[in-house]
Amino acid sequence: MRSNHGKAPLALKLAAGGGLLFLHLPILLIFVYAFTTEDKSFQWPPPGLTLRWISATWERPDVWRALALSVKVASVATLLAMTLGTLCAAALSRARFFGKEGITLLVILPIALPGIVTGIALRSAFGLADMSFSFWTIVLGHATFCIVVVYNNAVARFRRLSTSLVEASYDLGANGFQTFRYIILPNIGTALLAGGMLAFALSFDEVIVTTFTAGQQQTLPIWMLEELIRPHERPVTNVVAMAVVLVTFLPILLAYYMTRDGEETAGAGK
């Protein structure tokens, strides 16, 4: 007798497919409208397809300035998040002390709060500190939620890492740095890299927090938002949106494949 264990019903498969279409069909429409010949309004089906908007986007210096700023901000915010998120995960995954759960909640709170709340709080903090809006205010704003992403990945891997490996390293004469380099880092490396990729993707396309911390600077998502309000060439905005989707999708996909299996962590089965 054939078993149906593990096979989803047809109705469930159709519902899942319908949900995916509902979520991703608008994104596919952006890709189509990036190649339309119409530059004033959107028609369906498009009157024609062309590649000229790609070259038009390539020649726009404002797009390149916004892109460069977004890449720089995302890169620095990711490095900052990987450093602080890893240290925080290392401390909270092993230590036992009163108030640990409260500190854990405070660490993950920035990504749970609405972006507008985080943005207003950061703007108020920068104002109290008499900090003028600059590249670093954007980086600090993005790092608040990027740290959470790295922390979540790192703390999950730290919990799988057997304490006996660390203890054995110390018993064999290794110091703290050697233990981290040869024992801990190889076992949490993929989790850190995946967390960094997710942090970069989140920072690269962040809009709300950036609005409150950027001042007059324009990251690529802010540029897109202003172009939608005052459109000059609509298909150019769609080309940029298509590029943002690709830039954010690839790190997320790589992060998924790097962390979907956690059994490779040494000592995880102990």
Domain limits, the chain: 13-50, 60-259
For range 176-205, the mean pLDDT: 80
Question: Hey, what CATH topology would domain 60-259 get?
Answer: MetI-like fold (1.10.3720)
Dihedral in degrees, nearest 10, Cα atoms 86, 89, 93, 94 = 60
Residues 6+ apart with CB under 8 A from 110: 118, 144, 145, 147, 148
| DSSP assignment of 139-171 | HHHHHHHHHHHHHHHHHHHHHHS-HHHHHHHHH
Contact 146, 139 (CB under 8 A): no
Residue 222's nearest CA partner among 200, 233, 206, 201 is 206
Q: Which residue has the tokens 């299996």?
A: 261
Q: What is the pLDDT of residues 119-160, one digit of tens each?
A: 888 888 888 888 888 888 899 888 888 888 888 888 877 777
pLDDT at 208: 87
pLDDT at 76: 93
Instruction: Give CA–CA dist 141/110, Å, rounded.
Output: 10
Contact 192, 86 (CB under 8 A): yes
pLDDT at 79: 92
Poorest-pLDDT segment among 18-22, 27-31, 237-241: 27-31
- Around 149, how many Cα atoms within 13 Å sit in the side-chain half-sphere? 26
Percent of the chain with pLDDT over 90: 4
pLDDT at 134: 84
Q: What is the pLDDT of residues 63-81, one digit of tens each?
A: 888 889 999 999 999 999 9
Instruction: Give CA–CA dist 70/76, Å, rounded.
Output: 10
Q: Which range, 131-135, 156-160, 187-191, 250-254, has the best average confidence (pLDDT)? A: 131-135
Q: What angle do CA 263, 267, 270 make, to 5 degrees?
A: 100
Residue 190's nearest CA partner among 168, 161, 211 is 161
Q: Which range, 1-15, 98-112, 173-187, 190-204, has the best average confidence (pLDDT)? A: 190-204
Residues 6+ apart with CB under 8 A from 167: none
For range 239-247, the mean pLDDT: 81
pLDDT at 150: 87
